[in-house]
Amino acid sequence: MRSASGSWCARASPVSEVTRKVLLEVDGGSRGNPGPAAYGAVLKDAETGVVIAEDGSTIGVATNNVAEYSGLIAGLRLAEEFAPDAQIEVRLDSKLVVEQMSGRWKIKHPDMRPLAAEATRLAPHGTTYTWMPRAHNTHADRLVNEALDGKHEGVRVPDTEEDSLIEEIESPPPSMQTQARGWSAGAGTPTTLVLVRHGVTAHTVDKRFSGGLASSNPALSEEGRAQVRATAEWLEPIAERVDAVIASPVRRTRESAEIVAEVLGRPLTEEPGFAEMEFGVWDGLTFGEVAEAHPEALEAWLGSLDSAPEGGESFRVVEKRVLEGLQRVLDAHAGRTVVVVSHVTPIKTLVAHAVNAPLDSVFRMELSPASVTVVSFFTGGPDGKEPRTSMRLYNALPPARDAFSNPTAW
C-alpha cells in the first residue's frame, strides 16, 4: 500500500482504548451499472473524528446498489473488529440503503435481500442510519475510486508507530496548547495554511526570473505537473480536513492548484495577494543576464527591501500585498485548514511573518518546486488581540523526492 509519511499500514491490532461511539461512512459505485464495482468504508471515532480504519475494495462486476450494500457490510465488519462495543451511526449518500436498513422501505429486489440480511446481522442493536449529500461523503467516495483505479485494495489502519502527515499539519505543538489555556474563546483552534509551491516550468529549469500576472507567465512543464500530482497525492490523507484550495491567479500556480483540488476533491478559489513578485523588465532573464544589462539596479535590489526593478515590485510592496491576502484567508476560513498554492517569494514572506523574522530572512531560505510548508495562526492571545503563530513544516517533499533519501544530492 502507498504510505504518506508512514501514516498507514495494511492492518494492525484493534484500537486499545474503548471507543464508545463511532461513525461509519460508506459508499459504493459501479462504472457502468452494472460494471466494474467497488466500495469504500471509513470508521471514525465520533467524538474526535480520528480515523480508526478504512476499507476500499473491488467486488467484480455489480450494480451501484450491490456495491453500496457491500460497503455497508464491510464497514460493519470494521466496527466489529476495531470497535466491538461501540454505538454505530452509519452515514451514506444512498437514500435506498438508509430507508431500507431503517425499516421504512421494503426490500423488493432479490439481489438486495441477502445483503440486507447480512448487514442486519452484523449491525449491533441501536445502530442508526443517516443520509448525507454525496458532496459530503468524500472520504468513502475516494476509497471507491482508488480501489477501481488500482491504487489501494483492502483494509488499512493508521500506523501509530510513526507520526502521520495529518498530525504534523493539524496538531499544535505542546507549547501552543499550553499558551491556548486562558485565551479568548476559539483561541485553541488554528487556521492552518498548507503552502504548496507550484511545479517547475521552462523558466524554473533555466533559472530565469518569472514574475506574476504581468510576466511572460509560463505554463507548467510535464515534469512540473508530475511533481505537483505527487505532492497532491502525498497530501491526500488530509483531504477531509481541507476547507478549500486557494491559488495565486498566475498560470503556473493555477494549473498546479487545479491538480491539487482534483486529487483532494476540494473547491478551488483564487487569492491575488499570493501572486509572485513582479520583476518588470527583468522578467524572463537569467540572473547573469540581469547582472550584465542592469548591474546598478540589481545591486540596489539586493541591498534594499524597498528597491524594485523597473516596472516591478519591491519586497516591501510584496509583503504588504501578501499579508493583506493572508488576512482575507484568515477571515474567510477561520479555524479551518486550507491548501494555498503559491510561489517562492509569497511563501517565504508568510514564513518570515509566521516566525516573526525580519523580511530580509527570505534571502536565506531555499524552497523546492512542489514543496510543502505549513504555518498555523491562532487568534486571540491572552489579551484577546495578539495572535500566535506556529511553523509546522518547511520545504517538505514526498518521500520519493526528498533530498535526504538521495545522499548524492548533498
Q: Which of 360-383 are b and which e, b meaning 16 or more Cβ less than 10 Å from the residue's Cβ? A: eebeebebbbbbbbbbbbbbbbee
CA 384 – CA 145 distance, rounded (Å)? 45
- Output Rg (C-alpha) for the chain, integer angstroms: 24
Cβ(378)–Cβ(389) below 8 Å? yes
Q: Give all strands of the β-sheet with 128-131 in edge-to-edge order.
A: 8-9, 154-158, 51-62, 35-45, 21-30, 87-92, 128-131
Backbone φ, ψ for residue 292 (5° rounding) = -80, -40
| DSSP symbols for 78-112 | HHHHH-TT-EEEEEES-HHHHHHHTTSS----TTH
- Quick one: which of 249, 234, 242, 270 has its CA closest to 371? 234
* Spatial distance between the Cα atoms of 410 and 406, rounded to a whole number of angstroms: 8
Cβ contact 66:28 at 8 Å:
yes
In 3D, which of 347, 350, 361 has the Cα closest to residue 390?
350
Catalytic residue chosen out of the listed positions 276, 278, 313, 319:
276
- Asked if residues 68 and 39 have their Cβ atoms less than 8 Å apart, the reply is yes
The reply to whether 109 belongs to the active site is: no
C-alpha cell at 63: 450494480
Peptide bond into 34 cis (omega under 30): yes
**Length of the chain in terms of residues written:** 410
Strands 8-9 and 154-158, how do they pair? antiparallel
Return the SS3 of 207.
coil
Catalytic residue among 139, 152, 198, 343: 198
Q: Which residue(s) pair with 24 in the sheet? A: 43, 90
Catalytic residues: 198, 276
